[in-house]
Amino acid sequence: MAAPTEPQELVTVIIDGKEHKVPKGTNLLEVCRSVGSDVPYFCYHKGLSSPAVCRQCLVDVKGAPKPVPSCYTAVADKMEVTTNSPKILDIRRQMLEFTLLNHPIDCPICDKAGECSLQKHYFDWDGKLARNEGIKVRKAKVVDLGKHIVLDQERCILCTRCIRVCDEVAKQSELTMAYRGSHEVLTTAPGHRLDNPYSLNTVDVCPVGALTSKDFRFARRAWELSSVPSVCPGCATGCNIEIHATRGKIHRLVPRENLAVNKFWMCDEGRFEYKAVHENRLLLATMGGKRAGLDVAVAESARLLREAVAKDPGKVGVVFSAMATNEDTHALVRLALDGLKIGRAYLGGKPSGWSDKILVSSDKNPNTVGVERIVPPPLRPLKELASDVASGAVTALLVLGNETLTLDKSKLSALVVLSSHQGLLVEAAHVALPIATWAESHGSFTNRDGRVQQIHAAFPPRGEGMPAWRAAALLGSKLSVDLAYASAAEVFADASARYPFLKELAWATPSKPVQLRFGDSRG
Applying CB under 8 A, which of residues 41, 53, 59, 126 lies at the interface with other proteins?
126
Q: DSSP state, 33?
A: H
398 strand-pairing partners? 318, 416
Q: What angle do CA 291, 294, 295 make, to 5 degrees?
A: 130
- Smaller CB distance to other proteins: residue 33 or 263? 33
Distance of closest approach, residue 106 Cβ to other proteins, in angstroms: 8
Nearest CB to other proteins, comparing residues 133 and 504:
133
d(CA 422, CA 426): 6
Residue among 98, 123, 218, 354 that touches other proteins (CB under 8 A): 123
Q: Which is nearer to other proteins, 167 or 224 (CB)?
A: 224
Among 4, 65, 127, 377, binds other proteins (CB under 8 A): 127
Letters for 503-522 (x = contact with other proteins by CB under 8 A, - = none) are --------------xx----
Q: Which of 68, 107, 137, 177 binds other proteins (CB under 8 A)?
A: 107
Contacts (CB under 8 A) with other proteins, residues 216-235: 223
Q: Which is nearer to other proteins, 126 or 328 (CB)?
A: 126
Residues binding other proteins: what is the number (CB under 8 A)?
22
Query: Is 155 or 350 the residue whose CB approaches other proteins more closely?
Result: 155
Instruction: Give φ, ψ of 198 to 5 degrees.
Output: -120, 20
Cα dihedral angle (107, 108, 112, 115), rounded to 10 degrees?
Answer: 80
CA-wise closest residue to 103 among 182, 211, 220: 182
Residue of the chain from 24, 33, 93, 103 that contacts other proteins (CB under 8 A)? 103
Shortest gap between Cβ of 515 and other proteins (angstroms)? 10
* Cα separation values, 519 from 162, 223, 224, 226, 513, Å: 24, 9, 11, 10, 11
Residue 194 DSSP label: B
Residue (129 or 486) nearer to other proteins, CB: 129
Phi, psi of 304 (to 5 degrees): -60, -45
User: Which residue, among 104, 94, 105, has the nearest Cα to 131 in the 3D structure?
Assistant: 94
For other proteins, the closer of residues 104 and 313 by Cβ is 104
Q: Which is nearer to other proteins, 9 or 133 (CB)?
A: 133
How far, in Å, CA of 95 to CA of 204, rounded? 23
User: 418 forms bridges with which residues in the sheet?
Assistant: 400, 433
Dist. CA 206–CA 162, nearest whole Å: 7
Minimal distance, residue 221 CB to other proteins, in Å: 9
Report if residue 291 touches other proteins, rule: CB under 8 A.
Answer: no
Closest CB to other proteins among 70 and 521?
521
Q: Is 129 in the site for other proteins (CB under 8 A)?
A: yes
* DSSP annotation of 258: B
Among 14, 35, 113, 337, binds other proteins (CB under 8 A): 113
| Choice between 212 and 496, CB closer to other proteins | 212
Buried b (16+ CB within 10 A) or exposed e, 73-101: bebeeebebbbeeeebeebbeebbeebbe
Site string for other proteins, 178-217 (x = CB under 8 A): ----------------------------------------
Three-class DSSP category at 74: strand
Nearest to 34 by CA among 47, 16, 48, 51: 16
Q: Could you tell me the smallest distance in angstroms from the CB atom of residue 110 to other proteins?
A: 10
Distances, alpha carbon 25 to alpha carbons 10, 11, 29, 79, in Å: 9, 9, 12, 11
310 near other proteins, judged by CB under 8 A = no
Closer residue to other proteins, CB minimum distance, 159 or 399: 159
Among 69, 114, 146, 229, contact with other proteins (rule: CB under 8 A): 114
Per DSSP, what are the bridge partners of residue 433?
A: 418
Q: Is 28 left (phi over 0), alpha (psi -120 to 50) or beta?
A: alpha
Binding mask 130-169 for other proteins (x = CB under 8 A): x---------------------------------------
| Closest by CA position to 416, among listed 333, 336, 493 | 336
3-state secondary structure of 290: strand
* Least distance in angstroms from the C-beta of 246 to other proteins: 15
Q: What is the binding site for other proteins (CB under 8 A)? A: 100, 103-105, 107-108, 113-114, 118-120, 122-124, 126-130, 223, 517-518
